[in-house]
Every structure is written in structure tokens, then in C-alpha cells.
Structure 1
């Protein structure tokens, strides 16, 4: 089972290429050796998917969406130079529910909307330290009551 492949990447990209069919793409990539995804080598599969991503412009779209999200996070007060903080923020179930790098293009668009809503509501607030707490930790309060769930 360790050798089984997940072909979700291929089929997602295939949907974005109107008029393309699986057999022709595989046949051309393998130089006529096969029309089956299962019979492709891992290198052939990776190369084919990379060329499909370049053809659809998918990587550029994701890069731009990530950049916009990081800029909005910066404006809301999240330290975007610390990936742990970015991931902690994104893992919150009312924000995205998973790490920043794992977000799809649609989830990045949803995150942009939520970040803009947070900014409209006044941004993130840093809780004041009480005199009894000597831990030195900063607590950030996320105003989530008025963010539309996606």
C-alpha cells in the first residue's frame, strides 16, 4: 500500500484544462509507453503535474493569494516572520482550521474575507497583563463574534 498514489492533484488540474484528456496527456508524457496513470513512474507523474500547473497558472494564483493573506495578517497585528504564529492563527477553527501552507485557493480567498472583517471590527486586541501574571506571555484575543462562517 505504500506504493499507491493519490491522483487528486492530476484530476484537479485536468478539470482546469478544457479539452484535455487523461490518456493523451499520459501517452505524451511517457513517450508512448502507456496511457495509464498507474504505470507511470513517480518522476513522470511529478513532471506532468508540474507542467499542467504551469499551463493553468495555478502556482501563480496561489502565490498571489498567500501574499495578500500575509499582508492582511501583518496589518491585523500577527507577526508574519514567525511561521509558528501564522500557523497557530490559521489553525483556529473559526479562521481556517489548518496550517497556512495547506490552504487551498478557495480557502485562501475565504481567509482574506475573514481577515478584512477582523480589520473592519477593529483588528486583534492584545490582552493587558494582570499584575499577578509573571509569565511574560502575550495573549491575543480574536474577535470572532461577527465573522461570517464559510
Structure 2
């Protein structure tokens, strides 16, 4: 007999906490915490996992205060931070692949990233904030790559 593995439901804690907060509107809360992006809990979780985690932490703090509990000390590394870090690194690696870098070769990845005009440090050394700022930079590099390729195609057609 196979043992069933329970999947983590990121929305369960939200709904439990929401149930303990009378008068709070789910859509309004998601709308505010998502930065006026959406009222959909799933879309919010998918597009802004860090902010979703922050909302859950704030809800937990409010419920604890309502129940007379003292605030707990923050853990050093929040699981939401780890989730976002993983998503951002994955996004960077995807863009590096598009740029033509073999992402299975960490020496190549790190030597590219370590260039002063790129990031100045390896992927593993970058913080969440640095990764957030790096993705648009990598996007502009990809746009420039496409522009150059298109120009080469145009010139090849002329000749």
C-alpha cells in the first residue's frame, strides 16, 4: 500500500487566521497587501510570494495580540524568504539560459555573474533585493541581444 504524501496548502493558514479575525474582508486584505494588484489569493501568492508571507505574518501577529499572546521573536530565515529567493534565482537562471549561458555549469554561471558590469558577485552571494534589481537588468541585456540578432538577419537578407 502506497503512503499518501500531504501537499502543503499555502492558503490553509490564511483561511484559519481570517476566520479568527471577525469583520475582515478577504478580497480587501488581498487587494491591499498585493499593492492593488489583485483580489485573487492564488494570483497574489504566485506573483508576490514574499508579500503573501508578510501578510500571513501580520495576520498571525494580529490574532496573537487579540488572544493576549506576547509577540514571538522572528526566526532568522523565514520560509517565505527562502521561497522567494528560490523563485528569483530560478528566474535569473532562466534569463541566463536565454542569453546562451549553460546553466548546468556553475563555473560559467558564476564567472558571468561575477563580471563587474553584470552583477559583481556570484548568484549565491546575491540577496533577494539584489536579485530583484538584477532581473530587469538581465531583461534589458536580452532585449539588446534580440536587437543585434534582428539587425544581423536584416543585413543578411540585404546581401
* TM-score under structure 2 length normalisation: 0.45
* TM-score under structure 1 length normalisation: 0.48
